[in-house]
């Protein structure tokens, strides 16, 4: 009963948060170090400790600052999220820059779209330890892979990950190169977008670009 109550409150909040402008490019250059960036809220899919998100110095990031997930809890099935709270259209192109720093279990980072609540969304992620990019849907907290590609993802380097969601088609690009497209109809309504990590991944994110599609 408690889980249902939390989900209801979150979904209801969608109507209370202003919708996103047609295009935005969010960086963290003006955010104070050690703080949570404005308009973002931490959430968690699965067990384990909540993620610990904070603005950190990074000379390779825009304005010399990035937002990082720095908790090293290795719990399996633990997926910290940093959710951008304005509502985003269902048809959208989202672009992030990520830098995997460390992790013994995983070195992963990604982005979620059409996020309804912490247990229901689409997610594309890059994993430096596994050397792949994967696209999933998360339904009721359970992941199901829909598509993927294998490729080198060096640690401690910045990478660009893009997800284009239009109707039931999803197209993923990595460092400017299209990797794959797939179709799914599970989530089709406006929702949130979010940064995402896994287990003990310490990952930095430089920017969040969101562009509504017509």
- 31-59 as b/e: b if 16+ CB within 10 A: beeeebbeebebbebbebeebebbbbebe
Give the strand pairing for 79-88 and 142-150: unpaired
User: What CATH number does residue 34 fall under?
Assistant: 2.60.120.560
Alpha carbon 174 to its chain's center = 14
The domain of 72 spans 2-212
Give all strands (DSSP E) within 46-131, no chain letters.
53-57, 65-69, 79-88, 92-102, 108-117, 120-127
Cβ atoms 138, 45 nearer than 8 A? yes
Whole-angstrom distance, CA of residue 61 vs CA of residue 57: 8
Tokens of 145: 């892979």
Whole-angstrom distance, CA of residue 137 vs CA of residue 193: 14
Total domains in the chain come to: 1
Q: Is 11 left (phi over 0), alpha (psi -120 to 50) or beta?
A: alpha
Residue-by-residue pLDDT tens, the chain, 214 positions = 333 334 333 444 443 444 556 789 999 999 999 999 999 999 999 999 999 999 999 999 989 999 999 999 999 999 999 999 999 999 999 999 999 999 999 999 999 999 999 999 999 999 999 999 999 999 999 999 999 999 999 999 999 999 999 999 999 999 999 999 999 999 999 999 999 999 999 999 999 999 999 7
Q: Please provide residue 116's backbone torsions phi and psi, each rounded to the nearest 5 degrees.
A: -90, -45
Distance from C-alpha of 77 to C-alpha of 65, rounded to nearest angstrom: 29
């Amino acid at each position: 009963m408690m889980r249902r109550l939390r989900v209801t409150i979150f979904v209801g909040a969608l109507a209370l948060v202003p919708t996103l402008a047609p295009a935005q490019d969010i960086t963290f250059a003006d955010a104070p170090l050690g703080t949570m960036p404005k308009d973002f809220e931490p959430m968690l899919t699965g067990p384990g400790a909540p993620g610990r998100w904070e603005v950190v110095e990074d000379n390779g990031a825009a304005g010399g600052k990035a937002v990082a997930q720095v908790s090293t809890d290795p719990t399996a099935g633990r997926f910290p999220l940093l959710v951008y709270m304005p509502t985003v259209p269902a048809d959208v192109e989202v672009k992030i820059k990520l830098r995997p720093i460390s992790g013994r279990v995983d070195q992963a980072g990604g982005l979620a779209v059409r996020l309804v609540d912490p247990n229901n969304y689409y997610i594309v992620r890059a994993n430096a330890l596994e050397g792949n990019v994967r696209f999933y849907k998360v339904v009721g907290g359970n992941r199901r892979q829909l598509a993927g590609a294998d490729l080198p993802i060096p640690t401690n380097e910045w990478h660009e990950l893009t997800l284009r969601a239009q109707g039931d088609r999803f197209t993923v690009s990595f460092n400017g190169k299209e990797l794959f497209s797939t179709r799914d109809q599970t989530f089709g309504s406006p929702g949130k977008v979010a940064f995402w990590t896994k287990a003990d991944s310490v990952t930095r994110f430089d920017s969040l670009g969101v562009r509504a599609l017509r």
